[in-house]
Chains A and B, each alone.
Chain A
């Protein structure tokens, strides 16, 4: 089965840039999206199609961005705030939906 690999944890200081990676074989042939999940809450889509931010009522702040190079996709949070502390999951589609293991972002 297809597997996405994320670091278990990432730490960042307030105001700094946080980067969370997601890697897999042949990931360069696929698109990636990212979800944010805070304790006790449902996941929220923050990036889709590698780098697109959802708009509308649940608009995602511009400090969230996504990129994809080769077999690694990256979620970047610029000017990280305390409210960004959460678990982040990458997800792709390989004839089925596949999630990464999740990364706990700590804002110290």
Chain B
């Protein structure tokens, strides 16, 4: 059974860089999109971006300017960096496995079926 194990610094000061890594165990790394999703305290889910094993990347346009997602395919790992953090970045960050399936023509459906346990990141001076 596929499992995602994530880790990274949980307490940051303003202007520092958030850095998280997610490792994939027990399943194929290729053929999927590997996503980062965050959830601010008491709020809903926000998609940050995704990457596949070849390094093809998609970012949430609203976060694109400060986000970097990278992949280390030999290690079955992918990472998230978010620069110049502020208190607004305080959230639980999840990694997840995304499935992009072609339904017909140019119509696709997408779902995330495996999730990490989440990492709480707090930004405070």
- A interface with B by C-beta (< 8 Å): 1, 29-31, 33, 35, 37, 42-45, 48-50, 54, 57, 87, 89, 91-93, 95-102
Contact = CB atoms under 8 A, between A and B. Distances in A.
Contacts of B117: 42
Instruction: Name, among B44, B101, B111, the residue most crowded by chain A CB atoms within 10 Å (CB to CB).
Output: B111
A11 B103 CA distance: 34
Given A42-B117, A42-B118, A49-B101, A99 B45 contact: yes
Nearest to A94: B110
Given A42-B94, A93-B109, A98 B47 contact: yes
B125 interface: no
23 contacts: A29-B107, A31-B103, A33-B111, A35-B45, A42-B94, A42-B116, A42-B117, A42-B118, A43-B94, A43-B115, A45-B111, A45-B112, A45-B113, A48-B113, A49-B111, A93-B100, A93-B108, A96-B47, A97-B50, A97-B60, A99-B46, A99-B47, A102-B44
Given A29-B107, A49-B101, 20 more contacts: A1-B61, A33-B112, A42-B115, A42-B117, A43-B45, A43-B112, A43-B115, A45-B112, A48-B109, A48-B111, A49-B103, A49-B109, A50-B109, A57-B1, A92-B110, A93-B100, A93-B110, A96-B58, A96-B60, A96-B61
Instruction: Name, among B1, B45, B115, the residue most crowded by chain A CB atoms within 10 Å (CB to CB).
Output: B45
Q: Which 10 A-B pairs have the closest CB atoms?
A: A31-B109, A93-B110, A48-B111, A97-B47, A33-B111, A42-B115, A102-B44, A99-B45, A49-B109, A45-B113
Given A49-B101, A57-B1, A101 B44 contact: yes
A65 to B, nearest CB: 16
Interface SS of chain B: strand
A10 to B, nearest CB: 15
Q: How large is the interface on B (under 10, 10 to 19, 20 to 34, 35 or more residues)?
A: 20 to 34
B65 interface: no
A42 B118 CA distance: 7
A49 B110 CA distance: 8
Contacts of A91: 45, 110-112
